[in-house]
Every structure is written in C-alpha cells, then in structure tokens.
C-alpha cells in the first residue's frame, strides 16, 4: 500500500476533533468529553480562545468566527468530524456546519430528535443540564425540537458540588458527591414526570455519572460520549470479521 503525505499535516489518525471551551480550573475526569481517556480511539482537542463558560451561558454569538477558525484548524490536522464540549454550543451548530467541510455535531442536544422518535407518542426525554435557565425554547429549536412538551428539563446548576467544580471552576471536583447530585436530579425528574422514558445528559461533564444514573432509575441514558462514538463509527468504518 502506498501512503501519501497531506500538506501541512504533521500527525495522523485523529478522526474526531473536539472544540473546547476556554477553561483551565475545572478538572475533567475520565468519561468527560475533555478527557482523552474517555475514548477507545485518538481524538484531537482545540480550545476556542475566549469562549468561557460564562460567555456560552450568555449566548455570545460574537464568538462564531473563533469557533469556525478553530474548526478549520482541526480539519487542517486531518480530523473527519468535529464536535464540542458544551451542549449550549448548539448556538453555533447551524452556521459552523455550513462553513466547514466535515460533519459538525457541536451539541449533545442534537440527539434529541432521534430520542423523541424511539419512545412512544406522549412520552418524554428527560434532559439533565448544567443550567436549566439557559436551555430554553430557542436552543431546543436550533436542534430540531418543535414540541416542547416532548422534553422535561432538570438543571444541576443549583447542586453545590457540581456548581463549584464546573460553573465556578474552583479547581477541584469531588466525584462521589457530584455523582450523588446528578443521580438525585435524575430521581427527582422521574418522580415529577412519569412520562420520562429516556435520559439525555446535556453537559459534557456529565457522562462520568451516566452509569450511576441508569442504575438508579433503570432507563436508557444518552450523553455526549454516545454521540461521539456513534459519529466515529460512521467516519471510521471497520471491516467485519467472523465466521458462518
């Protein structure tokens, strides 16, 4: 087999590019989108300079050009698809997908239309989000949700240990305590609305707690990692081996 170099590309084999918020004091544990050990394949990270948690919460669309620029840099290094590490990056999804030449799936919320179709009519997707005040109708419409009655939103912004680690970025994270808070949110929402039949963890910091959530409420749990693995399986196809 003859391999050819790609101009300007210094490394190879990273199919998924991940655009990161500009944070430095929140620890990203295994299972988090920003932790490379969360994947069974190589990924490539790129920080969007200046796009902080506060600014994404404020929906500052003025960072669109920086998001596109960072995406282009990832493409120059050979990635085949680009994701993000905040569900609220749905704010940029439509325009970034238009501007870049590879598939773009910036937000975990892009799974919502699919999830609403795999449950019965009149049932709901329960969304656990980093900030329920930000996850409004506008963002949901950006990812294809027109019927707001098909989702039920529960925020963890008021949970002490999650808030300190992820929103306030105090520099440490107590895994067990955050896990209890996320599980508590899942239990609360399923008690409040029995129509919830599947869970989506919006925040990129929430996948580490998905197994505990599922054990507690016995429902399917989707998150950023399920989405990234799904897209990876499409852009890097494997040959099947077996026997008959």
Q: pLDDT band at residue 3, thresholds of 50, 70 and 90?
A: confident
pLDDT band, residue 58 (cuts 50/70/90): very high
Residue 17 scores a pLDDT above 90? yes
Spatial separation of the C-alpha atoms in residues 206 and 87, rounded to whole Å: 11
Q: Give the start-to-end residue ranges of the domains of the chain.
A: 16-107+228-235, 109-223
Q: What are phi and psi of 164, to 5 degrees?
A: -65, -45
Task: Name the pTM for this structure.
Answer: 0.94
For 16-107+228-235, CATH number? 3.40.50.1860
Q: What is the pLDDT of residue 105?
A: 98
Separation between Cα atoms, residue 78 and residue 58, nearest integer Å: 32
User: Model confidence over 137-164: pLDDT tens digits?
Assistant: 889 999 999 888 899 999 999 999 999 9
Evaluate if residue 26 carries a pLDDT over 90: no
Angle between helices 90-99 and 64-76 (to 10 degrees): 50
The CATH number of 109-223 is: 3.40.50.1860
pLDDT for residue 18: 98
pLDDT at 25 over 80: no
pLDDT in tens, 79-125: 999 999 999 999 999 999 999 999 999 999 999 999 999 999 999 99
Domains 16-107+228-235 and 109-223 are alike in CATH topology: yes
């Amino acid at each position: 087999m003859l391999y050819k170099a790609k101009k300007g590309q210094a490394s190879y084999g990273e199919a998924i590019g991940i655009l990161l918020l500009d944070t430095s004091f929140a620890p990203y544990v295994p299972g988090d989108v920003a932790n490379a050990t969360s994947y069974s394949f190589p990924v490539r990270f790129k920080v969007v300079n200046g796009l902080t948690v506060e600014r994404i919460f404020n929906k500052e669309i003025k960072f669109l050009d920086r998001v596109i620029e960072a995406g282009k840099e990832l493409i120059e290094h050979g990635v085949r698809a680009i994701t993000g590490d905040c569900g609220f990056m749905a704010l940029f999804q439509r325009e970034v997908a238009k501007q870049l030449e590879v598939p773009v799936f910036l937000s975990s919320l892009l799974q919502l239309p699919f999830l609403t179709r795999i449950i019965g009519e009149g049932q709901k997707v329960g969304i656990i989000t980093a900030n329920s005040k930000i996850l409004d109708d506008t963002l949901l419409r950006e990812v294809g949700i027109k019927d707001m009655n098909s989702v039920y939103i529960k925020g963890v912004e008021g949970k002490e240990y999650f808030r300190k680690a992820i929103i306030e970025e105090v520099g440490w994270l107590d895994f067990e305590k955050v896990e209890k808070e996320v599980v508590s949110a899942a239990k609360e929402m399923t008690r409040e609305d029995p129509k919830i039949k599947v869970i989506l963890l919006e925040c990129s910091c929430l996948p580490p707690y998905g197994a505990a959530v599922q054990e507690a409420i016995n429902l399917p749990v989707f998150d950023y990692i399920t989405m990234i693995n799904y897209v990876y399986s499409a852009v890097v196809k494997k040959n099947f081996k077996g026997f008959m």
